[in-house]
Structure 1
């Protein structure tokens, strides 16, 4: 029976999740050459080709795909054993912009926990500005937020696209102020929307303000107002009314990861979360 090296199995799992030797090396705090050697050692030990690598693509072989779940279980069992000896558990505090993860947030957190059960995860959901303030104070280790005008740092994870959404029976006469809902006076979406309306010369009034994205979605669902929403959080039954109401287009916004995590295990866990986040966004379109 072949005995397995924990580091080599971790390299295989990380490459599989990142689909990149470069990102896997970064997540593990090492070099591409080092992880290539460890992967080769594991493949030789098992007598199987696990990863197929071309200049354009990194993917699992058929045997690699079959080995991935047992490999994750192996790493998780190892981490649980090591965690039993730890004096103090490791903590990872992450902030999420509410619409950035969408309805997949529970699945993302479950993926993170499965990757490292010994990690104590603290999740916070809030607006980008509040999350960035908490991150700058050191209250959060990492945040996934939309790009703010005054910041140029962070890793781009994707793009959030916006539109004006309302229920099909929502009506507005151009000689009246547009009734719209926003999450808070200082939220990025409200600022973006009011700038666009002002530039287009459209009078507006806030029929609903505050309570976060969930409250704005509720206001739209109730037919109280139109709202500037990311396409990922549109309530059931709502439609985009930009063309029908002749409302100005809303700019897309980049979704960024900011992190100060430095220890290899936490960085690897965070890269797993990022990989899962990107996978969900691709499937969601």
Structure 2
């Protein structure tokens, strides 16, 4: 029998550690320090009388007791949120812009993670190019924006760095003597501009053969064998291969994912922090 009630903040910290597989990312999601998260977990383990997390220098792993407690921890937090929602006032609206080059297949899971931070929030997500979304943010049409590039800007917070490559369908072959056929996003796309500049600097002739209104459309063009595209690995169509080295193309740099936010406190800020931490967990260096 547990003699004292569980601290919900400590339970939340444990759930974030388990879901994000990192004390650091859990601290980011909770807008606190890693040492504070470690202390919360220690106190929770003391109250439960068992170890929940097996720590190692490289990764975090749930103990058997931790695996068993995770379900109950989520249920406890959900029950707390339902109880609060029953007496809540009108939902608070939060409008977020996410660059199409950043919003990948994990987006539903990431939105769910943000909603779990506070189910009472009314979340609006807009997908678009980084340039367009940054203008919307500057016009105060967005509360926050998660973007790919920050040309000429220094006010964004870098939350991750992601490797790009030159990808094509597995059966695609470049025709000798012809310019490199590129599938790109429509303007204004920073990745499109960067790819063109790198090819020009390397003296590689190229031509656009497909312009898509979103990464999904560009991926479809790559799958159809129309040509090559500069994409992050997690955005790849099934079976695509990196042809950069084979074709002697210039190496693409790691590109930043940046957070712009004017949310200062409260649940909306916590939700954005949770979303940023979740992006760190899926965008690998």
- State the TM-score, normalized to the length of structure 1: 0.80
Cα distance, 1:38 vs structure 2:
6.3
Pick 1 or 2: higher relative contact order, CA cutoff 8 A, min separation 6.
2
> Which residue is equivalent to 1:145?
147
Match of 2:281 among 276, 279, 282: 279
Match of 2:68 among 66, 69, 72: 66
Q: Give the secondary-structure state (helix, strand or coil) at the position aligned to 2:123.
A: strand
> Which residue is equivalent to 1:226?
228
Query: Which protein has the bigger helix share?
Result: 1
- For residues 208-263 of structure 1, the C-alpha deviation after alignment (integer angstroms, 9 at most, x for no partner) is 22412222222222222222222222222332222333322222211122222223
Q: 1:57 to 1:154 in 2, by over 3 A?
A: farther
Unpaired segments ≥5 residues, structure 1: none
Cα distance, 1:14 vs structure 2:
5.0
Q: Please state if 1:170 is matched with 2:170.
A: no
Q: 1:130 to 1:22 in 2, by over 3 A?
A: closer
Q: 1:48 to 1:281 in 2, by over 3 A?
A: same
Q: 1:9 to 1:172 in 2, by over 3 A?
A: same
Q: Please state if 1:260 is matched with 2:262.
A: yes
Return the alpha-carbon distance in structure 2 between the equivalents of residues 54 and 220 of structure 1: 41
Matches for 1:1-150 after TM superposition, within 5 Å: 3-13=5-15, 19-20=22-23, 24=27, 28=30, 42-43=44-45, 45-48=47-50, 50=52, 62-150=64-152
Unpaired segments ≥5 residues, structure 2: none
Asked whether the 8 Å contact 2:130–2:147 carries over to 1, the reply is yes
Number of residues of Structure 1 aligned to a counterpart in Structure 2: 281
| CA RMSD between the two structures | 3.3
Q: Give the secondary-structure state (helix, strand or coil) at the position aligned to 2:104.
A: helix
Return the alpha-carbon distance in structure 2 between the equivalents of residues 58 and 272 of structure 1: 18
